[in-house]
Structure 1
Amino acid sequence: MDDLLLQAVSRQVRASLENEYLLGQSLEKERIEKELNLAAAIQQKIIPKELPAIDGYQLAGINIPSREVGGDYYDCIDTGDGKYALIMADVAGKGISAALLVNTLNAALYSYLEFNLPLTGLADKLNKLIYKSSPPDKYITFFIAVLDSKSGSLDVLNAGHNPTFLLRKDGTLGQIDAGGIGLGMLDLGIPYAGQSLTINPGDKLFLYTDGIPEAMNLAEEEYSDRRMIEFLKENSARPVDEFIKLIVEDVKSFTKEAEQSDDITTLILKRI
């Protein structure tokens, strides 16, 4: 009799512990879901729903967030007098902390751009701000190009981001990667370097985050920089909206059933 009672009590205790574990797992899953939804809401609030129309140019971009919500950000900010700031950025890490850091970058950019600072000075201010606003494992890779739409001049700066490509009308491909370290990595007064270029009729400026070349299929093979550059060269003559649609489709056709592990973000500017 005592043995039967002991077994019954043991079963009840075990069932209770299992139920408590399952409840804990359910609550943790619910908490994570809420955090992901909040991060997605923060991120989507600052991603432009519509890009400005620039006389003499075509412009298109897209952001497709991953399941875990990364910290990708792109924008085109009208700074007045025919000038526009094209921006591409990516926070190291995912989730709500990455989304909040991108939100900080977005607010700072809209504020600092009003002062018409040289890009090296702008990058220095942003670096200090992000360094103070983020934990040691968080930083932002960042690219900015300020376009004078009347002359076609471009002032550019790359802070640790993927190379940006300037594809000339004759097929020559220029790579823009000089600039400095990612924003918030270090605050040691290391100067940033800018660069001046010109975008001529027929030229295209292509910006992206690593969610495109590093997209993986089920065999863990990457889409790759090589395939992305080949796609750019072969399809750059298309209207920019069509180009954006097709490059996303090409990435998806490569990855097939594999889950999207990172945000897919890109922006293309064409002078016509």
Structure 2
Amino acid sequence: MDTAFKIANRYELKELELNALLEITQAINENLPEKSLYKIYNFTLRANLKLGKLMLLVKEKNNWEQKLAFGTREDYQTTGASAHQLVEKRKILFPSDLVDSPFEEFDVAIPVFHKDELLAIVFLGGVANAEEKELIENHLNFIQALTNIIMVAIENKKMARERLEQEVYDKEMEIAKKVQQLLFPKSLPDKSNFIIDAHYSPHHTVGGDYYDWIAVDDHKKIVCIADVSGKGVPAALLMSNFQASLRTLLRKTIDLEEVIHDLNHQVFESANGENFITFFIALIDLKEKELTYVNAGHNPPFLVSSDGSIEKLDKGTLVLGALKEIPFLEIGTLKITEPQTLLLYTDGLTEAFNEDEEEFGPERVMEILSKYISATPQAILAAILKEIDAFIGKRALSDDITLLACKYHV
């Protein structure tokens, strides 16, 4: 009679296993969310195996997360690394294996691998008697298979989600690149008394660098450069709004004080004080032989005179958009008495690091400029780019590099 009962019981258990597998498979095929899959898994084990304790640890990238817990004395949220060490040999663990570990309250620990990667560990315990304990032991392979099916399905969902997120990110980067390219001037002046050359080296993520020049009239020219905090589409859109605001303002006035105050207001309103823009603008008046400028928290440009002197242009104010009102503003004014070259750049140049963690720094830029006093803007930028390339070696750029060199004389 006992033998007949055991055979009947075994068939009943096999039927339960098949039903559980069918239910799980159906849930996966219906593309139920991860939370629902964990619920079905939890119910299946607890209902069929009469467990007193159940805990599931799942590896999420480099961390372990407790996805299910029932009847446990402890919170095992931070013990994933200990569990990982226990199951290194890929075997199912029993009470003798769990002694003196954080998991000794459990009767069984079942590792779940996919190929060579450990995905999860399921802990079972709280079995009331020997008969129920035998029931669990007879189901170990089933529990391992069921957990593997669930975990691989969830892992596939994660991979699909990550692929979709990557596609969205790539699309956003494509849009941001197009927006940024539209900000740069389509042509640069190349006249006998006013020449500009510019260069942009993008980082692998799109930043918010921007340079421009505007001919106010035959004698007055404006050159500027800017860098917005942040990356990607938000940075590109903020800089796009900034460029539109700047060009609209310059149609009304070339008073730099008025321009800076209005731009600060526009950036603050657009970014809600969450982002800011460093900005440098110079008005070159070849008729009045005067250069006026404002530096709003930007890396100080270098002004190179034909006598070999190099000056940093650092007068101005704070970054734009950080505060609702600018607390101070100083307009820089310089006389143009001889041919000069103005070099504008973003911090990606001076803050580039080599493989020895050395920073390129402004001093190296000044050394290059001192060797190219009478050179064309094209030659100056070529020398800087050659030097920075040799300096960083195999190390990738950590930020965009934008350069603008302007040579002029009266």
One fold, TM greater than 0.5?
A: yes
Which residue pairs with 1:129 in the alignment? Answer: 266
Distance (Å, rounded) in 1 between the aligned partners of 2:191 and 2:257: 25
C-alpha deviations, 1:111-138, integer Å up to 9, x for none?
Answer: 1111224101110000001100004331
Identity between Structure 1 and Structure 2 (%): 35
CA 1:13–1:66: 2 relative to 1, 3 Å: same
Which residue pairs with 2:388 in the alignment? Answer: 251
Q: Cα RMSD over matched residues? A: 1.7
Q: Which residue, 177, 180, 184 being the options, matches 1:43?
A: 180
Which residue pairs with 1:242 in the alignment? Answer: 379
For this pair of structures, how many residues does the alignment match? 272
One-letter identity of the residue aligned with 2:204: R
Give unpaired runs (5+ residues) of structure 2: 1-13, 15-138
Which residue pairs with 1:22 in the alignment? Answer: 159
Q: Which moved more, 1:31-40 or 1:2-11?
A: 2-11
SS in structure 1 opposite 2:241? helix
Which residue pairs with 2:41 in the alignment? Answer: none
Q: CA deviation at 1:180?
A: 0.5
- Is 1:61 aligned to 2:198, yes or no? yes
Question: Greater Rg, structure 1 or structure 2?
Answer: 2
SS in structure 1 opposite 2:350? coil
Distance (Å, rounded) in 2 between the aligned partners of 1:44 and 1:220: 31
Distance (Å, rounded) in 2 between the aligned partners of 1:222 and 1:189: 31
Distance (Å, rounded) in 2 between the aligned partners of 1:151 and 1:177: 22
Q: CA deviation at 1:55?
A: 4.3
TM-score (norm 2): 0.63
- Is 1:85 aligned to 2:222, yes or no? yes
Which residue pairs with 2:169 in the alignment? Answer: 32
SS in structure 2 opposite 1:211? helix
Q: CA deviation at 1:190?
A: 2.1
One-letter identity of the residue aligned with 1:26: R
**Would you say the 8 A contact 2:296–2:316 is kept in 1?**
yes
Distance (Å, rounded) in 2 between the aligned partners of 1:106 and 1:212: 22
Distance (Å, rounded) in 2 between the aligned partners of 1:164 and 1:145: 10
SS in structure 1 opposite 2:213? strand
Give unpaired runs (5+ residues) of structure 1: none
**Would you say the 8 A contact 1:124–1:192 is kept in 2?**
no
Distance (Å, rounded) in 2 between the aligned partners of 1:31 and 1:217: 32
- Is 1:142 aligned to 2:279, yes or no? yes
- Is 1:75 aligned to 2:203, yes or no? no
C-alpha deviations, 1:244-267, integer Å up to 9, x for none?
Answer: 122112111111111111111111
SS in structure 2 opposite 1:88? strand
**Would you say the 8 A contact 2:200–2:402 is kept in 1?**
yes
SS in structure 2 opposite 1:212? helix
Q: Which moved more, 1:250-259 or 1:3-12?
A: 3-12
